[in-house]
Structure 1
Amino acid sequence: SEAVDWPLRSAIWTGKIFLYVGLFLGVGGAFALAWLAGSGRAGQRFVAAAILSGLVASCLSLGLQGLDALGAPLSHLAQSVVWRTGLDTSFGWTVLVALIALGLGLLSLAGPRATAKPSALAGLAGVGVALAASGHASAAEPQWLTRPMVFLHGVGIALWAGALIPLGLALKGQSAGATPFLRRFSWAILPVVAVLAAAGIVLAVIQVQTPAALVDTAYG
């Protein structure tokens, strides 16, 4: 069997984890601050740090994906052909859209107050588009169904997970806006969880198909 390049594999997964942190906790957190927190700013530094880590990770992930596609080791990361190859993969679209989404999330934090909500909303949509642009689930047939489901699943995760840190810090600090923040979150999260669960079930049925595949396949 073909030998696994564990340093590269580890780097790829580390990059993806930080990319997801940026998208879910960063962009999702920016949305929560803009739409749910009112005038509260609890957790803004964490959200900004998550977005910045996502920006770095998304750029590095592009090169790592190129290495994986070429079967090259980490020592070749600086070669231009590696980055071109990464950009030519479907993951290249994910990185490009993710960079836009992360930038919009950062703009909602640091830009004019009037642009915070539209920037955060556009960034949140970008999270879904980025995830739907590549990956095993989004590439499965029928794509007219799987890609929208991945979009909804990604947006749902960002909405839910992104609000947790700002909300938790607001409640811990007992700020004046903590209770309204909690009320808005509680009102919004029920339909979000419903959509998140429905999209997850649809994707699981399409990908797994049979109960036995839950233990017989890597996806299961």
Structure 2
Amino acid sequence: MININCERIESKGKQFGINTLSNAELITLIINRGAGTEGALKKAEAVCSMVHDSLHTLAQMEPEQLEGVEGIGKCKAMAIMAAFEFGKRYYTENNANKELFCSSDIYNEMMPDLEGINHEEAWILLMNQRYKLIKKIRLSIGGLTETAVDIRIMMKQAVINNATVLVLVHNHPSGNPHPSIDDDKLTERVQKACHIMRIYFLDHIIYAGKLYYSYKDKNRL
């Protein structure tokens, strides 16, 4: 059966540009594949209504939550998640070998990896002496403790990748960027290890959505 709504949206996108489409229209194109595509626009509008037309909220949702919308099964839910993942990967690839001089540079670099997740993750950014990014490595998923983040692995990765500059980044899903006592203890240990290995510990950034905390900016490094 021909889906008139989808044909209209595709025509609009081709004529005026994909950037002219609404969130619901974009989602319609994503989920309008395979059998049962009739009414794709209504399903997309239901998804947008559930998240109050907020892409930020949509990106934080689990596939199981999207499946709660009538007509959005596992495949369509995963298609929506895949679209967000493509966006993250495009941003990362487009910013490869970028120079990271300050906390805002680091914050923007980590946004695609940490935005919207509801659990803690710890990452290190390895750079050369010109502050050009060599590699990003996720160290742990879950609570940030001294056991979850193995400093020996951090130093080993820095040596393997010939890095002379290191940044530690982790997120606070609560949205509160203020460091905990454990955050402070870990920062001190990483700083000591970097000093021994003659690696410049540039910063420890706590990512908290629209906010972030920088140990360097607070003169704590």
Could you say whether these structures have the same fold, taking a TM-score greater than 0.5 normalized by the shorter chain as the test? Answer: no
TM-score (norm 1): 0.28
More helix by share: 1
| Larger Rg over CA atoms | 2
TM-score normalized by the length of structure 2: 0.28
Structure with the largest fraction of strand: 2
